[in-house]
Amino acid sequence: METLKLLCDYFPTAVFTGKCLVFISEDWRVELTEHKDSDFSKADNSKPPVMRIKIFKKALNGEFVPGHYEDFQLSSLGELAEQIEKYVQMAIGTNLRENIE
């Protein structure tokens, strides 16, 4: 959750729900969730968490239909935010740091 909270500062249009960051518009919904390795028996727990980006498109019936998703695991917060922004911008054609339209 720590990385999600930090990404809130980078993406001012996001809403933190307590378990994910959500970007929503009339036609799109983008969710960012954080996944940590829960295997405590591994010696290397220094890996950054996996950030999963899920893209949903509004269907004709008004419901958001899950589309594709991608996992990101970058240690630099700035690089992580840039790559997430680039991915979503290419997928839906708009910038997350501005209003999703």
**pLDDT per residue over 67-90, tens digit each?**
989 999 999 999 999 999 999 999
- Residue 33: beta bridge partners? 52
The gap from C-alpha 74 to its chain's centroid, in whole angstroms, comes to: 13
Q: 34: pLDDT confidence band, cut at 50, 70 and 90?
A: very high
Give pLDDT, residue 63. 95
Give pLDDT, residue 47. 83
- Residue 51: beta bridge partners? 34, 72
At 81, is the secondary structure helix, strand, or coil? Answer: helix
User: Rounded mean pLDDT of 48-55?
Assistant: 94
What does pTM read for this prediction?
0.81
Burial class (CB in 10 A: 0-12, 13-18, 19+), 88: buried
- Residue 58: beta bridge partners? 64
